[in-house]
Amino acid sequence: MRLYILGVITSALSSIFFNESKGQSITYEASFVPRGASEPQTVGWTFDRNVWNEVLFLWSTDSNHGNEQTLMTVSNKRLSEIEFRSSLDAWSNKKGDFQYLRLSCSLTNNGNFTSVCICTTYVRSTTSDQDSGSSNPKKDFGWTSQTVSRCTEVPLLSADVFKDFENVTVLEFDQVQFEEIGGNSFRRLSSLELVRLSNVFIPVDKVPYGLLCGFSKPIVIQIYKAYFEQNTSGDALFRLLQCAHGNTSSSVVDKTRLSLLEIENSSLTVLGRDIFSSVAKEYVISISFPRNLINSIDSEVFFGFTGVTKIDISENQLTSLESVTFSNLTSLNHLNLASNFLDVIDTRVFRNLVLLQTLNLTRNLIFTVSEGFSVIPNLVYLDLAWNRLTEVNDVIVSRCYRLRKLWLQGNQIASIHKNAFEGTIFLRHLDLSYNRLSNETSIKAVMQYQLEWLETLSLKDNNLTRLLSFMFKAYAYATNLKIIDLTSNKIEYIDKDAFSNQDSLIAILLGNNKLTSLHPDTFKDCRKLIWVYFSNNFLHTLPEFLLPDSVGELFLVSNHITRLPLFAKTMPNLKNLNLHGNNLSTIGDDSLVQFPAIESLNISNCSLSTISNNAFLTLSRLINLDISANNLNLDFAINYFQNSFKMQILNMSHNSIQSAENLFLHNVRYVSTVDVSHNPIVLLPDQPKRTDTFGQNIILTERLIMKNCSLRRIVPSALELAFFIGLLDLTSNQLTEFEPFQLSDLINDYRYQILLDDNPIKCSCRMSWLTDDQYSLHYIVSRCYRAITGEFVLFSSIPKNEFLCNVTDYCTVELPQCNCYAESTSSSPTYLDCSNKDIDVFPRNIHSSTKIIHFEGNSLTTFMRGMVYSNLTYVEKLFLDYNLIDDLGPYAFLPFPNIKFLSLNGNRITHLKFGAFAKLKKLTNLYLHNNLIKEMDSSVFDDLHLLNQLTLHSNSLELLEVDTMNALSSLAYLSNLTLDDNPWVCPCDNATFKYWIQQNSEIISSPFNLTCNGTAILRIPDEDLLCYDLKQTVLQNQYFTGPLYTACSIFCLLLLTLILVYRYRYIIQVIVYNKFELRRKQQESESCAYDAIALYDSSNLSVRKWIKDILIPRLEPKFKLYILDRDMLPGSVQCNEVVENIKRSRRTLVVLSGAEDIKEIAFGFDVAHHRVTQERCHHRLKLILLHNVSCNALLARQDLHANFKAYLTTGQYFSVVDRLFWQKMLYFLPRLPPYRKSES
């Protein structure tokens, strides 16, 4: 048998290097630093996806049977016929066009890295005319699928696999377990640029030497989420990169040529000395080992990598570094050692890294640094953040002449040496935030003499209490500071010269401190200042000339400012002013005149009660205004925003605005979003339609928010000119009834929504328009109040004809306390509500249009024919629940000939007499539960031909007469009958009642709840319900006494023998079969693939262990079993697999332990049970009870399926504690055919 591999399988990949878009393309990426460059770059490969890149073809030709070929496809799913044909054609004719190949299988979830693929075998039969003297070649009769199975290992990969793929540039193996890989498998891929291994298990004995050797040009190797066997010494990785045993030859074919090596998120723990011994080191430019388990690096592992520019060993478990680890990396530019466990750094380890520019040591445990980083002459970026440094001494970074950015945040630094930054003349960025600095003098000394070129300084979240004069000024040099962050300190005092000579400063952050005042000259030299943050301080006022004209953003949130204007001069460039949370009480005409360029103004939560008419007159550029959370009661007849034509957002929520009159009279109508929620507005009135100057008063507002405004009424024409309204939020108001808005026809071009949730909207006829199609998509309401029941109900659950209005004028005269409802205010009533009024008489005069009558919860004692004067032919529902009715007269309901629903629940009726429900030929629902009914006339239901539901539970019924049972059985449409919770008695002649219950169990609700003396009637043995008349006959003829005794004894002995044989006939059959292999011939299905299928809870470990360790070894290979965990194909739907394989099996074994989730196996049991009982096939079903479970314990479980209980009660189970368990099992299983016996 010769084996040829023709293709590669692929599947989805989850990693940072691979992204699959919806456009069916696949992209690979790798990051590196080119030699001679200082910044990282990214190289990428993007390809169009094709189905033929996702299948592995293996075919074979039998040398002994040349007329037949077999083909196996390996994929991560079952291939359709079209997918198979197109893939086969591509591998046969287009291999030279392939640009990438991916091999992938999906891993099992048991943690052992076992990959699982779908292997499908195809057979193609061919014939040759040469046998008959013809010269024609073989004819192809096509491929036919033969078997489908799971394969856990990819077969042999050899050099012949890829010999025709000369244009492939990317080769990937994802989630693969290899059976074997040839050492020269990839050498024929002459165009290969990237090899990627992801989610793979790499064992030592299955990774050959030379796997990645012999490429004509350097390639990129990526290994992601790999498990390396014997990873403590790196053996698997060593063989993966090695080219030969022993010493490595210098020959090109014996070298691993790679440019980038990335191994991420693997089990690698050690970088051993010889890992890279076969690598052509002169080609390597990047080595990355992030997110592994590396805790040791051999001192010579990087020896010879003189061309490497980037090394990443971040997020590992390193605790120390040897001094010569990186000594040979003379071209190294980037070194990342972040997120390890390094505590002491001896910078001599970096001594020879003359080109190193970026060093990342963040998130280690570093508390001391010896020698300092000046040993790295070209260091530009140094990250020491989030370590345990307590000081910045005069060694760490001093004389780092090229250092530009230094991160020291998140340490425990309490002091800085005066010469800490000596020689760092090019330092531009210094982050000292989240430390314990409190000595302002030392900071001043450092700033004056050593940080002349610093641009960004962060001292956020330290313990500073004051800012000294010239604290940030460089001595004898012009300062270059642009950003100073002093947020979250304890600063109480700022010297007037603290920021002197800071003419480059553009941002100062002083929020969350303890400032109470500022000197007028504090920022006199900051002529370029733009961003100023003073939030969360204790400032009462600002000096009139504090800030320069350049300021564009000023935050004064949560201070104690009490008056405006803030300054005595104009701030021509201020665009964003935030005064939220101050103590302003009024906004006057001149309060904001200093800010003509303002675009965003926040004066929310400022205790404002008054805003003058011209307060915003000068704010012509205003876009966003927030005046929420104040005490304002604005009069919209005043044009507060007369020049603010650019305003887009106006927030007036949480104020005291009492009227929306003239809301859109002036410039508010131009604002896109208007929020007046949480104001005591009770009416949304009509808005002005015309103005004197511009004609129609068109409203351009798109969003109007009026949540929680106490709205009770809406004028329909209020938004008639709101042509562009998209959202009207009216949630959480007091709206009950209103008409739909009269919106312009132009708005139909827009999709608008009106939110009405959390309003007490009535389910009345005045609101039935909400169900119309033209409104239901736009008016959003979830619940409405139904006055009839006094409940809020789902709006969607009420049909339109049940939106009713109270029309008391039509109510009956003699019962004024009743209410009448109609579908409109002008129509006749259809609904009469007299419920819970304590009335003892039924109304005689009821409007003829009435359809529903509620009379429950009253004191009515009887119901007779003459209680209503006229026939109410429209009445469909009558509720008489919870009265005191104890008698129903003949033809009592004759005035209601068309009634369909009659409820008499909760009364005192004891006897259902003849004619009580006469002439109710349309009645479908009759509720008589919770009464005292003890007797029923057999003819009481004669006229109820359409009765569908009858409730008789919770009464005093003891017996049902045969005539009554027959009468109930004759109701053709009855589908629900309740009889439980009655005191049924069980005389010896009551077998008929039990039989009647069994015959009508489909319509009787909960038939097993019908009990007699606490026992379900259906469970009482038939013999207990039969009566016997025992009579004793005395033999008078004594001559026949002796022979009769003898004959009787023989007969009794014979009868006893027969009884014992019959009683233990199954045990006898089992023993005979196991001893002599004799048993009654049984019909078996010859087409079944399995002898038995085992069903069990796969989440129960004890059951799975019993299946694996006991059942399978005892029965296989003699019997062929289908085990779900073992034989189900990945990607398949479990329910479908169970149904299909039960049909393919002769027996079903259901294994129970007592601790499983019954729902997990109930489906399979039902399928097998149906096949046994309904399909009448030759299938057999048996329950297997393990050691820790008994039949009684299972029957006591509440969640046990009814069919389970029935099957257990019939004894259709085996228990493993039975001494004859295995003999019974063998007898139960099908008889093996002769050829199977010989194989066994």
Is the Cβ–Cβ distance between 936 and 926 less than 8 Å? no
pLDDT band at residue 671 using 50, 70 and 90 as cut-offs:
very high
Token match 């989240």: residue? Answer: 434
Phi-psi region for residue 113, left (φ > 0), alpha (ψ -120 to 50) or beta? left
> Over the stretch 258-272, which tens digit does the pLDDT of each residue have?
888 998 988 888 888
1177 pLDDT more than 60: yes
Exposure string over 822-838, b if 16+ CB within 10 A, otherwise e = bbeeeeebbbbbbbeee
Q: Which residues contact 803 (CB under 8 A, 6 or more apart)?
A: 763, 764, 765, 767, 768, 771, 823
**Residue 1032 confidence (pLDDT):** 39
**Residue 881 confidence (pLDDT):** 95
Q: Average pLDDT of 646-662?
A: 95
Q: Which residues contact 889 (CB under 8 A, 6 or more apart)?
A: 862, 863, 864, 865, 913, 916
Q: Average pLDDT of 235-244?
A: 68
Domains 804-983 and 1087-1239 share a fold: no
**Residue 553 confidence (pLDDT):** 97
21 pLDDT more than 50: no
pLDDT band at residue 465 using 50, 70 and 90 as cut-offs:
very high
**Residue 1059 confidence (pLDDT):** 83
Architecture of domain 633-798: Alpha-Beta Horseshoe (3.80)
Q: Average pLDDT of 1060-1085?
A: 75
Which residue has better confidence, 1024 or 795? 795
**Residue 7 confidence (pLDDT):** 32
**Residue 98 confidence (pLDDT):** 81
> Over the stretch 1086-1109, which tens digit does the pLDDT of each residue have?
678 888 998 888 778 788 888 888
Q: Average pLDDT of 1131-1144?
A: 81
Q: Average pLDDT of 284-310?
A: 91
Q: Which residues contact 1109 (CB under 8 A, 6 or more apart)?
A: none
pLDDT band at residue 1188 using 50, 70 and 90 as cut-offs:
confident
Is the Cβ–Cβ distance between 79 and 89 less than 8 Å? no
pLDDT band at residue 1144 using 50, 70 and 90 as cut-offs:
confident
Q: Average pLDDT of 318-346?
A: 93
Q: Mean pLDDT in the chain?
A: 83
**Residue 15 confidence (pLDDT):** 32
Where are the domains positioned within the chain? 2-151, 633-798, 804-983, 1087-1239
**Coil/strand/helix, residue 946:** coil
Dihedral angle computed from the Cα positions of residues 417, 418, 422 and 426, in that order, rounded to the nearest 10 degrees = 90
Return the sign of the alpha-carbon dihedral for residues 1151, 1156, 1161, 1166. Answer: positive
CA atoms within 13 A on the CB side of 600: 8
194 pLDDT more than 90: no
**Residue 855 confidence (pLDDT):** 93
Dist. CA 12–CA 76, nearest whole Å = 10
Q: What is the Cα 411 distance to its own chain's centre?
A: 38
Burial of 197 (0-12, 13-18, 19+ CB in 10 A): buried
Opening angle at CA 1042, ends 1036 and 1043, nearest 5:
105
132 pLDDT more than 50: no
**Residue 8 confidence (pLDDT):** 29
DSSP 865: G
Residue type, 363: R
Q: Could you tell me what percent of the chain has a pLDDT over 90?
A: 40
**Residue 600 confidence (pLDDT):** 96
Token match 């070194």: residue? Answer: 335
357 pLDDT more than 80: yes
**Coil/strand/helix, residue 1176:** coil
877 pLDDT more than 90: yes
Is the Cβ–Cβ distance between 481 and 454 less than 8 Å? yes
- Tell me the β-bridge partners of 358: 334, 381
Q: Which CATH topology does 1087-1239 take? A: Rossmann fold (3.40.50)
**Residue 1234 confidence (pLDDT):** 54
Residue type, 928: L
Structure tokens at 10: 């692929």
771 pLDDT more than 50: yes
1163 pLDDT more than 90: no
Q: Which CATH topology does 804-983 take? A: 3.80.10
Is the Cβ–Cβ distance between 699 and 670 less than 8 Å? no
**Residue 418 confidence (pLDDT):** 87
Is the Cβ–Cβ distance between 275 and 231 less than 8 Å? no
Return the sign of the alpha-carbon dihedral for residues 71, 76, 78, 82. Answer: negative
57 pLDDT more than 80: no
Q: Which helix (H) or strand (E) holds 1142?
A: helix 1134-1143
Q: Average pLDDT of 303-323?
A: 93
Q: Which residues contact 129 (CB under 8 A, 6 or more apart)?
A: 135, 136, 139
- Tell me the β-bridge partners of 578: 555, 602
Q: Which residues contact 772 (CB under 8 A, 6 or more apart)?
A: none
> Over the stretch 674-717, which tens digit does the pLDDT of each residue have?
999 999 999 999 988 865 555 678 899 999 999 999 999 999 99
> Over the stretch 531-585, which tens digit does the pLDDT of each residue have?
999 999 999 999 989 999 999 999 999 999 999 999 989 999 999 999 999 999 9
64 pLDDT more than 60: no
- Tell me the β-bridge partners of 901: 877, 925
Is the Cβ–Cβ distance between 503 and 479 less than 8 Å? yes
pLDDT band at residue 224 using 50, 70 and 90 as cut-offs:
confident
Is the Cβ–Cβ distance between 998 and 1008 less than 8 Å? no
> Over the stretch 421-458, which tens digit does the pLDDT of each residue have?
988 989 999 999 999 999 998 888 888 777 878 999 99
Is the Cβ–Cβ distance between 858 and 837 less than 8 Å? yes
> What CA–CA distances, in Å, run from 1089 to 165, 966, 979, 1140, 1143?
41, 51, 49, 11, 9
Q: Average pLDDT of 372-376?
A: 93
14 pLDDT more than 50: no
**Coil/strand/helix, residue 997:** helix
**Residue 973 confidence (pLDDT):** 92
**Residue 696 confidence (pLDDT):** 74
Which residue has better confidence, 1081 or 946? 946
Dist. CA 740–CA 52, nearest whole Å = 60
pLDDT band at residue 13 using 50, 70 and 90 as cut-offs:
very low
**Residue 616 confidence (pLDDT):** 94
318 pLDDT more than 90: yes
> Over the stretch 814-845, which tens digit does the pLDDT of each residue have?
778 888 888 887 788 888 888 888 899 998 88
**Axis-axis angle for helices 1158-1173, 1202-1209 (nearest 10):** 60
Of 924, 966, 930, 969, residue with least CA distance to 949? 924
Is the Cβ–Cβ distance between 492 and 469 less than 8 Å? no
Exposure string over 622-633, b if 16+ CB within 10 A, otherwise e = bbbbbbbbbebe
pLDDT band at residue 1033 using 50, 70 and 90 as cut-offs:
very low
- In this predicted structure, which of 247-261, 894-908, 973-987, 1224-1238 has the lowest mean pLDDT? 247-261
pLDDT band at residue 870 using 50, 70 and 90 as cut-offs:
confident
> Over the stretch 499-516, which tens digit does the pLDDT of each residue have?
988 889 999 999 999 999
**Residue 137 confidence (pLDDT):** 45
**Residue 668 confidence (pLDDT):** 93
pLDDT band at residue 388 using 50, 70 and 90 as cut-offs:
very high
135 pLDDT more than 60: no
Q: What is the Cα 763 distance to its own chain's centre?
A: 36
pTM (global) more than 0.75: no
**Residue 126 confidence (pLDDT):** 56
> Over the stretch 1103-1123, which tens digit does the pLDDT of each residue have?
888 888 888 888 888 888 888
**Residue 445 confidence (pLDDT):** 85
**Residue 538 confidence (pLDDT):** 96
pLDDT band at residue 940 using 50, 70 and 90 as cut-offs:
very high
Q: Could you tell me what percent of the chain has a pLDDT over 70?
A: 86
133 pLDDT more than 60: no
